Amino acid sequence: QSVLTQPASVSAAPGQKVTISCSGSSSNIGRNYVSWYLQVPGTPPKLLTYDNNKRPSGIPDRFSGSKSGTSATLGITGLQTGDEADYYCGTWDSSLSAVVFGGGTKLTVL
Q: Which residues of the shown chain bind another protein in the complex (CB under 8 A)?
A: 2, 32-33, 35, 37, 43-47, 50-51, 56, 88, 90-92, 96-104
Which residues touch 52 (CB under 8 Å, ≥6 apart)?
A: 33, 34, 65, 66, 67, 72
Q: Is the Cβ of residue 12 or residue 86 nearer to another protein in the bound state?
A: 86
In DSSP terms, 90 is beta-bridged to 35, 101
Q: Is the Cβ of residue 15 or residue 98 nearer to another protein in the bound state?
A: 98
Query: Whole-number minimum distance, CB 37 to another protein, in Å?
Result: 8
Answer for the pair 72, 65: CB distance below 8 angstroms, yes or no: yes
Query: Whole-number minimum distance, CB 22 to another protein, in Å?
Result: 12
Separation of CA 99 from chain center:
14
Query: Whole-number minimum distance, CB 15 to another protein, in Å?
Result: 28
